[in-house]
Chains A and B, each alone.
Chain A
């Protein structure tokens, strides 16, 4: 789960990292009110995406009236695919340098990694182009946390102009914020060196591990839920992994890998998938809900149902789909491929209840579904 800047910064502050004073506004008047006592402020669009500055979503304002005008300009603008609904109004900070600091989950070392670079205030990719060696890293044993001496050793030789100890101390605190909040990513970019020689976090990018949300219910309330279409929201309510796509061939399969592959094979045969929908694992009893979800999408012209049972029993999944089928009596051209645990029972069930034989393999089923969708399109 992603957290916008205004929701991430309090977590930094709680770990003892300085952040600018300010508040969140959803109207220009609120922005002016927050700016009043702060003097010169930065007005920043709050959207869960990068490149806000380049899109014009960050403006500096000298006083409350200017902050109001800036908020008026920013609220309602579209950045990436997000409409700006709120701005963060913060006291502007005079600074001399911009660094980059982060803690990530690193698949290579299978542990946390602290990252630091003196090239901050720009994209990581951009910085890497400028100097591929600027990024320093420290792999951490999560059982012990980082040792200050190791953090200092990581920073050795970096041109920090006298704030070495402050940076090392800040990285220790950043790690605390990462660990305390089950972060996948806890990033400060830019980490500014103020005119007074202190450090301050001018941005915060925080992503919480979705699997850890159950143990951070309070914090998770301030996160930004994924933007869902109506059908995706319905899928989520049913606890199904459903992603709406552009095409017209509906897909139901079990397991993430098999579902992705079904989409790939639909595309291989010249079609375009209408959705990702998997009912494997714990959801294998949800065939009924899955079928109605696919049928609710008006773009769908044909359907491929592809089961290869391991943990998920194909007879249970097939029975679930057939229950919905018998109730809804859809006319949608549908093609089945059924193999694995419970396949003998599943195939017999299909024959007996709806008089259907599965195709010999998923490629044949996908091909038939792609042709049916094309024919349905031509007929209109």
Chain B
């Protein structure tokens, strides 16, 4: 899902060093942060918003304040071994979406979160994502949304498994004279809540988006699944797949980025997307010319 400036957001782990720093940046940019969670600091105030003992308490406490209801989205600045409990708390509270930034959460914990979220119809974004940006409205996570050279508002939607590479792609799109409608960081883990295809469907439905750039990576089959949907889309699309030069059988930084035998290869992904009419970029710098050609 695309998080908008109107969504009410809480931050679980708001009082930590990174939680504080990035919550302040998000608020400055326009993200409507209405509260935070830290069980040890319930009842206090931090960077201008109330701190609750749990997301469940936050939902009730914020609703009781009567200034617009509980919250829609929770962002998790929580260490790996605590992420499952925090996510379950947010799901129980009735969040519409949970943005899970944490890397190195045990996969069985992630699967538990996914099963609970599915049952309650909650969207999970991540884990292991740098978050998302809706330029001119809000951002979630730790993205340099406030850098105008990278996130100028516009009509190109970007999907990326990697925060740094996604940021670079946005920069290249903006340098080519375009702007960004939404950046969706889906995360680098092997099992994630919002897949490449889910993000693609969201951007296809998002009225501010006229073209989509997908940044994929070797490993898994998400790009291949997204290609099936891409074939049905009218909006022009380009894709860059990272890891063509990576050796097989080694995890390239992201737990999800590993080629096993002939599965998850660069070629398999490039072929599937190409067959769906997606322009394959040799380097991220090629995005400008391709968008100019495809967007007319």
> Which residues of A come within 8 Å of B, CB atoms?
105, 107-108, 110-112, 125, 141-143, 179, 182, 184, 209-212, 214-215, 241, 243, 245, 253-261, 263-268, 273, 276, 278, 280-281, 308-312, 339-341, 343, 361-363
Assuming the contacts A143-B112, A209-B108, A211-B80, asked whether A340 and B150 have C-beta atoms less than 8 A apart, the reply is yes
Within 8 A of A (CB), among B154-191: 160-168, 171-172, 175, 188, 190-191
Pull 18 A–B residue pairs with CB atoms less than 8 Å apart, ordered by A: A107-B191, A107-B222, A111-B114, A142-B112, A182-B106, A209-B106, A209-B108, A243-B247, A243-B250, A255-B163, A257-B254, A257-B257, A258-B165, A258-B168, A260-B257, A266-B245, A308-B165, A308-B171
- Cβ–Cβ contact A264 & B242, under 8 A: yes
Further 17 A-B residue pairs, CB within 8 A, beyond A257-B160, A363-B283: A110-B193, A111-B115, A142-B111, A179-B108, A209-B106, A212-B106, A212-B107, A214-B81, A257-B188, A259-B253, A260-B242, A263-B243, A280-B163, A281-B103, A310-B130, A340-B150, A361-B175
Chain B interface SS verdict (over half)? loop
Partner of B246, one of A112, A260, A268, A278: A260
CA distance A337 to B41 in the complex (A): 42
CB distance from A350 to the nearest CB of B (A): 17
**B284 at interface, CB cutoff 8 A:** yes
- Cβ–Cβ contact B111 & A243, under 8 A: no
Chain A interface SS verdict (over half)? mixed
CA distance A362 to B107 in the complex (A): 34
Task: Mark contacts of B213-257 with chain A using CB atoms, 8 A cut-off: 1 yes-contact digit, 0 otherwise.
Answer: 001011011100000000000000000101111110010111101
CA distance A343 to B114 in the complex (A): 37
> Which residues of B come within 8 Å of A, CB atoms?
18, 80-81, 103-108, 111-112, 114-116, 118, 130, 142-144, 147, 149-150, 160-168, 171-172, 175, 188, 190-191, 193, 215, 217-218, 220-222, 240, 242-247, 250, 252-255, 257, 261, 282-285
Which residue from chain A places its CB closest to the CB of B145 in the assembled complex? A310
- When distances are taken between beta carbons in the complex, the residues of chain B under 8 Å from A256 are 162, 164, 188, 217, 252-254, 257
- Cβ–Cβ contact B115 & A264, under 8 A: no
Which residue from chain A places its CB closest to the CB of B195 in the assembled complex? A107
Partner of B283, one of A214, A243, A268, A308: A268
- Cβ–Cβ contact A260 & B217, under 8 A: yes
Partner of A276, one of B103, B112, B253: B253
CA distance A255 to B257 in the complex (A): 12
Assuming the contacts A211-B105, A308-B171, A363-B285, asked whether A264 and B147 have C-beta atoms less than 8 A apart, the reply is no
For the A-B complex, the count of residue pairs with Cβ-Cβ distances under 8 Å equals 175
- Cβ–Cβ contact B104 & A211, under 8 A: yes
CA distance A184 to B255 in the complex (A): 12
- When distances are taken between beta carbons in the complex, the residues of chain B under 8 Å from A257 are 160-166, 188, 215, 217, 242, 253-254, 257
- When distances are taken between beta carbons in the complex, the residues of chain B under 8 Å from A264 are 242-245, 283
- Cβ–Cβ contact A310 & B252, under 8 A: no
CA distance A318 to B193 in the complex (A): 34
- Cβ–Cβ contact A340 & B253, under 8 A: no
CB distance from B79 to the nearest CB of A (A): 11
CA distance A312 to B193 in the complex (A): 24
- When distances are taken between beta carbons in the complex, the residues of chain A under 8 Å from B18 are 311
Partner of B143, one of A125, A143, A260, A310: A310
Which residue from chain A places its CB closest to the CB of B252 in the assembled complex? A260
Which residue from chain B places its CB closest to the CB of A141 in the assembled complex? B115
CB distance from A335 to the nearest CB of B (A): 15
Partner of A340, one of B144, B254, B284: B144
CB distance from B258 to the nearest CB of A (A): 11
- The 8 tightest CB contacts between A and B, nearest first, are A257-B162, A256-B253, A255-B164, A257-B165, A212-B106, A311-B142, A258-B164, A256-B254
- When distances are taken between beta carbons in the complex, the residues of chain A under 8 Å from B252 are 243, 256, 259-260, 276
- Cβ–Cβ contact B245 & A339, under 8 A: no
CA distance A368 to B126 in the complex (A): 36
CA distance A257 to B252 in the complex (A): 8
- When distances are taken between beta carbons in the complex, the residues of chain B under 8 Å from A260 are 165, 217-218, 242-243, 245-246, 252-253, 257
